[in-house]
Structure 1
């Protein structure tokens, strides 16, 4: 028959700064609203206290009894403040002198690994992807200069990390769009000139030059698009098993 506890304590981060729950089965659960170095120091001080109630100062080690100065009872909130002020030295002294129980070391190792993993997951910024650049282009489609507005947004987005390959991909996409903008401007000027002056001996060379410039710029844009397609294809092949 399952034992029914005499009392159940309910704790939350509204009333507590650090909560560690160790069930009979399964991993420990950690909730914390302290800075991580402070929380780690609190756990280490708890481990030191469980390992040796007599304390770690010279007086306690010499007499074998709790030191009236260093081992005097303190309030939990005061202990947390002291832990924040003496996190590094206290941890170093405790780890150098203490031989903790193996089960306690396992718990502390698990808590430290969990907090480190959560911190890395929280702090790791997202990478700049080609989809981000293309989405920004689509978002700025109604802007007076779509590519210029998108370049501004990409340069201002300092939260996203970018490797040289990702930066090169963003440059290809933006330059391709810019080249197609220029080609469209040349084509519009070609049509306007022909509509206004017609195809005559004096305008034939000018119109031919416009058409040649449009083809050159369009070919440049197509080349950038082909290079980017090849780069994305190679990247996808490396990801696939």
Structure 2
């Protein structure tokens, strides 16, 4: 006997951008008011999330994209598999693998500058790369951090933001010069743009120098 559902949900393109219906029999049906390339990208993201455990943290759920921290390739400094933790024998022999339990698990490595730079690289090409990267770093609450780790993240993100602003000021300078040329009436405005760009760039350079010094001191 055919099962009769308790309730039927009705969806339309008035309330949804993409609807995929897979009946028990017959071909799947797709209704969409997105561009074909965008719809294909959404479906690929869904397939990737179903195919692997990636994309389950707060960042991925919020954005619908893999997280640059949790879904990035594992780095040598972390534990790559939560199910097996390496231990070194006392006599220095080859490490053996032991099943992990809640008491044996080592703490997650703290936030590293490479994590923050990795978030910036991951979000390159977005409308606001720095804003998206700041969101990802703030949402990564599973990674422990001390004041010095948070300060390093702030320096790196603020440096990138300052260079973003400097580029915008430079673009305004060039657009003004192209449209109006250099004249008595535009000279002061163009000079102001140049001065502002230099000041913001100097601020970004200062942050980069401070971070380089901090990383050098930490490496000693």
Q: Give the TM-score, by structure 1 length.
A: 0.49
- Listed one character per residue, the Cα deviations across residues 181-232 of structure 1 (whole Å, up to 9, x for unaligned) are 0000000000000000000000000000000000000000000000000000
**Structure 2 gaps, min length 5:** 1-97
**Aligned-pair distance for 1:120?**
4.7
Q: State the structure with more CA Rg.
A: 1
Q: Give, in angstroms, the shift of residue 126 of structure 1.
A: 2.9
- Correspondence for 2:218: 235
1:2-31 C-alpha deviation (Å, 9 max, x unpaired): xxxxxxxxxxxxxxxxxxxxxxxxxxxxxx
Indicate the residue corresponding to 2:202 in structure 1.
219
The structure 2 residue matched to 1:174, chosen from 126, 133, 157, is 157
* 1:125 maps onto 2:94 in alignment: no
What aligned pairs does 1:1-241 form with structure 2 within 5 A after superposition?
119-122=102-105, 124-237=107-220
Task: Judging by fraction of residues, say which structure has more helix.
Answer: 1
Normalising by structure 2, what TM-score?
0.53
- Give distance in 1, aligned partners of 2:209 and 2:198: 16
The more displaced of 122-131 and 168-177 is 122-131
Describe the SS at the equivalent of 2:105. Answer: helix
